[in-house]
Amino acid sequence: MKNFLKNVLATITGIVVFLLIIVFGFAIIAASSNSAPVIGSKSTLQIKLNGPIKEKAENPDQLELLFDKNLNPDLGQIVDAIKLAKEDNKIKGIFLEPLFPEMGYASATILRNALKDFKSSGKYIYAYSEFYTPLTYYVSSVADSIFLSPNGMVKKTGFSASIPFFKEFYDNIGIKWNIFYAGQFKSATEPLRYNKMSEQNRFQLHEFFNGLYKNTKDSILTVRNINKDSMESFVNNFKGLFPQNAVKYGLVDSLIYKIDFTRLLKEKNGIPAKKKLKLISINKYRRGVKKPKIKKSKNKIAVIYMQGDIVDAGKKAGSISPEKYAKAFDDILRKDNIKGVVLRVNSPGGSGSASDEILRAIDRIKETGKPVIVSMGDYAASGGYYISCHADTIVADANSLTGSIGVFGILPEFKELMDEKLKIHFDSVKTHKMSLAFSPQYNMDSDSRKLMQSYIENFYEQFLNTVAKGRNMTRDEVHKIAQGRIWLGATAKKIGLVDVLGNLDTAIEICANKAKLKEYSLTKYPRVKNNLLQQLIMQLSEQTDMESKILNSKYIRTFKPVLEVLENTEITEPQARLPFDIEFK
């Protein structure tokens, strides 16, 4: 039997190795044949916005070269390509094709501003889509001309949030949730406590969405010849459901089929009808364009991209942990040529202890005299704000979501489910009073409840005092604007949580000025050093992960709000996290 198992394992190992060799061989062939594309004259840069658009992809360029068609460029790569195309005589203009990108409004503003800058060259931007969402229309509004399919739609209906509530469901099946929180606006646990939104949560969402709508509407009205009242009528009555109305109200310039739009682009570029339109994707353009030499300097500014949930451990892409950024912090502390630091924070928060650990590392850097500047992305809330609050200067986009200074914890209780529904009974022996205090199979007594609430409130006090120290405010001044409430970037500046409205470039410029640098170059973290084979294996595992495919299917995504709430039921330590996730489409 032992030999049989050995043979089976050996066979399996051999098959795996053989498959990896084949895959690696194909990869080498693909890499060798994937030479830099030639960019012809009268070309159009095609920017297709669809799927996740990360601020900084955690993939080295060699992997992108192999999987050009399958990987989205990140936001920085798109913006860099637009800047290069502005000065490139071979690029006549931009074809913006927004589909269903996954990004926030701060990221959308960065892209929109890059397109506005491109227009100053005198080159054109044409936008075409069959379906404009509020976000994609916001980006597209800077185009010289906006085109819509004759059967398309402009879905401008304002902003909204729909949150599922589970209290009655769990009551029926015998599961109880012991909820502990500090901050009347900290609403992450409401779906387990109530059957509808609290008035505080309803108020903060209403204020946030109203502010976001005003910001985006004002930006659109400055570039489109649309009457303010007409815009309100268009949005309030969903006039965009009928494509003719989009033209009538001035949101779209023309209704046109894709095949006719292609002919229009040819005419715009001076290409005969029988010749092929020269469209070049962002990834191909990045490979083919001659990039200007970057002036290197011994003086460095470290730009640290912090994206995703804050977790206690691990180095997973799209997460933030002390472990993942340990090398970056160590480099900055050791290397005298790193003169300043910019933290690009794009996080809804997460683990309170991990947030505090990261903040301590940031404080250590500040103790060396190096300036630390924070640049907020789409989110820098709760734990995301915690790790930001000691920066010398905090920069946010007007549409960034920040604040949410509050804490919560959740402990489940399954006694009723086990005893009465499933007829499973637990008995126990313990040495001390609190030995089984937080065990989910027993009811939580009043002493345990008081202890946990005190624990959460202590961490909230720590949060308040930490922010007060970083923002030169009193504890009570922070408390008035805290309590878990979210704030739009523009409002956060007015109440003292943010110093400057701007983007990453703004933050880098401030850092250089504080460090008194006339010349400098950037060094970016985190750095991914996986070799090509490791990256291929990771890519293949992601592509073949059945669970991932199921969870990302369009049908399952309908239940994403439910899954997000259920994720919170696994929490047992203080969480400094955004009360909810908002998707902008």
- Cα distance from N-terminal residue to C-terminal residue, the chain: 57
* Closest-CA residue to 517 (of 324, 371, 404): 371
Give 269 or 8, the one with higher predicted confidence: 269
pLDDT at residue 494 in the model: 97
DSSP secondary-structure letter at 555?
T
Q: What is the DSSP string of 224-266?
A: S---HHHHHHHHHTTGGGSHHHHHHTTS-SEE--HHHHHHHHH
Instruction: Give the Cα separation of 552 and 145 in Å (integer).
Output: 34
Query: For the chain, how big is the Rg over CA atoms in Å?
Result: 26
DSSP secondary-structure letter at 277?
P
Longest Cα–Cα distance of the chain, Å, equals: 88
Assign 2 a pLDDT band (cuts: 50, 70, 90): very low
Q: Which two tokens stand for residue 15?
A: 């098959």
Q: Which residues contact 424 (CB under 8 A, 6 or more apart)?
A: 418
Assign 547 a pLDDT band (cuts: 50, 70, 90): very low
- Does the fold of domain 300-427+437-577 match that of domain 43-157+238-288? yes
The residue type at 175: I
pLDDT at 325 over 50: yes
Query: pTM, whole model, 2 decimals?
Result: 0.84
pLDDT at 198 over 70: yes
Paired sense of beta strands 486-488 and 401-403, if any: antiparallel
Q: CA of 280: how far to CAs of 45, 126, 260, 291, 385, in Å?
A: 5, 15, 19, 16, 39
pLDDT at 64 over 80: no
Mean pLDDT of all residues in 56-85: 72
Tell whether omega for the bond before 526 is within 30 degrees of 0, i.e. cis: yes
Helix (H) or strand (E) holding 333: helix 322-334
Instruction: Give the Cα separation of 523 and 227 in Å (integer).
Output: 46
Phi then psi dihedrals of residue 458, to 5 deg: -65, -40
pLDDT at residue 159 in the model: 92
What is the domain class of 43-157+238-288 according to CATH? alpha beta
Instruction: Give the Cα separation of 353 and 368 in Å (integer).
Output: 24
pLDDT at 553 over 90: no
Q: Which residues is 49 bridged to in the sheet?
A: 98
Q: Which two tokens stand for residue 164?
A: 């599922």
pLDDT at 132 over 90: yes
Give 163 or 574, the one with higher predicted confidence: 163
pLDDT at 550 over 50: no
The residue type at 476: D
Cβ atoms within 10 Å, residue 60: 15
pLDDT averaged over every residue in the chain? 86
pLDDT at residue 22 in the model: 56
Instruction: Give the Cα separation of 194 and 337 in Å (integer).
Output: 54
Cβ atoms within 10 Å, residue 322: 21
> What SS3 state is found at 142?
coil
pLDDT at residue 68 in the model: 46
Only one residue has tokens 């506005």, namely 116
Cβ atoms within 10 Å, residue 1: 5
> What SS3 state is found at 117?
helix
Domain ranges of the chain: 43-157+238-288, 300-427+437-577
Only one residue has tokens 């997973």, namely 316
Assign 555 a pLDDT band (cuts: 50, 70, 90): very low
Instruction: Give the Cα separation of 286 and 36 in Å (integer).
Output: 9
Q: Which two tokens stand for residue 111?
A: 């892209």
Instruction: Give the Cα separation of 53 and 50 in Å (integer).
Output: 8
pLDDT digits (tens, 9 = 90+) for 474-495: 999 999 999 999 999 999 999 9
pLDDT digits (tens, 9 = 90+) for 438-470: 888 888 888 888 999 999 999 999 999 999 999
pLDDT at 335 over 60: yes
Is there a contact between 427 and 346 (Cβ–Cβ < 8 Å)? no
What is the domain class of 300-427+437-577 according to CATH? alpha beta
